[in-house]
Amino acid sequence: MNLKKYIPHILIIILAIIVITSCANTYTKPTNSTTEVTTPKTLNDNYSIIKKWELPEILNEVSGISWLSENTIACVEDEDGIIFIYDLKKQKIIQQILFAGVGDYEGITVNGDDAYVMRSDGLIYEVLRFRESEPTISTFQTEFTADNNIETLALDIKRKSLIVTPKDRDRSDNFKGLYYISLNSRMMDATPAVRINMDDAALKDFQKKKVYRTFNPSDVAIHPKTGQYYVLEGRNPKLVILDSDGTIEKVIELDTNDFAQPEGITFNPDGRLFISNEAGKDAANILEVIIR
């Protein structure tokens, strides 16, 4: 038998086996995945991260989140006027709702069938029946402007009001106020319900020469069980927890290795806490966090 004529065929077969074996041992991590931390990741004595959902690239600039139901969260990002419905169980976006054009959208909250979205210049979009095929969309202006740089938006269901606070300057550089806006009148209270004083002893380690930069809120949520305010900062990642009367109970610094830029915060009705992060060296994500 003349083996020489079979050598090319033999080499091709060997090469194919090598390629198949190599591919079988190669795993590419999905860009949209969830990680359940079986042993809670304790970064300090104040909190643990128990789950992580990596968001798709379209949500790299995720800027606000709000719990819906059945493991779904409404998200906005700070470039396009779209509400994204993200399913935590399916680990993917299941719906997109267009409500406006290009803009700097920073916060979202949901009241039943209706959604409210904050633009950074203080303009609020009301999207009634937002998950239906033809939602009703309108806007109303708060007393804040782009100079205040508004990134927060939350709902106080008991008072039937929205809550906002400036990221940059308030009416005085000495405090950041939590202001209520009635859903019925759309009017903002002249006096904040709560003041976070920039010279509060709890913030002494974060004092800046320009006092209004001491704390720069990126979002706020109310704990459904305790009524406490959870105010998030993305610029220098931290979480400030206040009692309903405004007393600062705790200031928690967030590790930037996990909280690259925390911009959104929400609770489910049982008090599970979720924080979203814009993309940094890693993909944008939603983290489920336990506060100690």
Question: Which pLDDT tens digit goes with each residue over 212-226?
Answer: 999 999 999 999 999
- Percent of the chain's residues with pLDDT above 90: 83
Which residues, at least 6 apart from 65, have a Cβ–Cβ distance to it below 8 Å? 73, 74, 75, 108, 264, 265, 266, 274, 276, 286
The token pair at 244 is 């309903």
- Global pTM? 0.87
- In the predicted model, is pLDDT for residue 7 greater than 60? no
Model pLDDT for residues 225-255, shown as the tens digit of each residue: 999 999 999 999 999 999 999 999 999 999 9
Identify the band that residue 28 occupies on the pLDDT scale cut at 50, 70 and 90.
very low
The residue with tokens 């704390």 is 215
Give phi and psi for 21, each to the nearest 5: -65, -40
pLDDT of residue 168: 97
Contact call for residues 56 and 73 (beta carbons, < 8 A)? no
Average pLDDT over residues 74-100: 98
Given pLDDT bands bounded at 50, 70 and 90, which one contains residue 34? low
Average pLDDT, the chain: 89
In this prediction, residue 9 has a pLDDT band, given cuts at 50, 70 and 90, of very low
pLDDT given at position 15: 39
Contact indicator for 229, 220 with CB cutoff of 8 Å: yes
CA dist 253 and 239 (Å) reads 6
- How high is the pLDDT of residue 44? 72
The answer to whether residues 115 and 109 touch, using CB atoms and an 8 Å cutoff, is yes
Q: Which residue has the higher pLDDT, 45 or 104?
A: 104
Note the pLDDT of residue 40.
Answer: 54
**Tens digit of each residue's pLDDT (9 = 90 or more) over 46-57:** 999 999 999 999
Q: In what order do the strands lie in the sheet with 34-42?
A: 34-42, 47-54, 285-291, 273-277, 262-267
- Residue 219, number of CB atoms within 10 A of its CB: 31
Answer whether residue 22 shows pLDDT above 50: no
Domains and CATH numbers, the chain: 30-291 (2.120.10.30)
pLDDT at 61: 97
Which structure tokens are listed for 259? 């909280």
- For the chain, helix, strand, coil in percent to 5 are 10, 45, 40
Pair 154, 109: CB distance under 8 Å: yes
pLDDT band at 70 (very low <50, low <70, confident <90, very high): confident
**Residues 188-205: tens digit of each pLDDT:** 999 999 999 999 999 999
* pLDDT for 45: 84
Task: Please tell me whether residue 248 adopts helix, strand or coil conformation.
Answer: strand
Say if CB 290 and CB 47 are below 8 A apart. yes
d(CA 67, CA 39) in angstroms, rounded, equals 25
Does position 18 have pLDDT exceeding 70, yes or no?
no
Residue 185 clears pLDDT 90, i.e. is over it: yes
Q: What percent of the chain has pLDDT over 70?
A: 85
> Is the four-CA dihedral 135, 71, 166, 260 of positive or negative sign?
negative
pLDDT exceeds 60 at position 20: no
Mean pLDDT, residues 273-286 taken together? 97
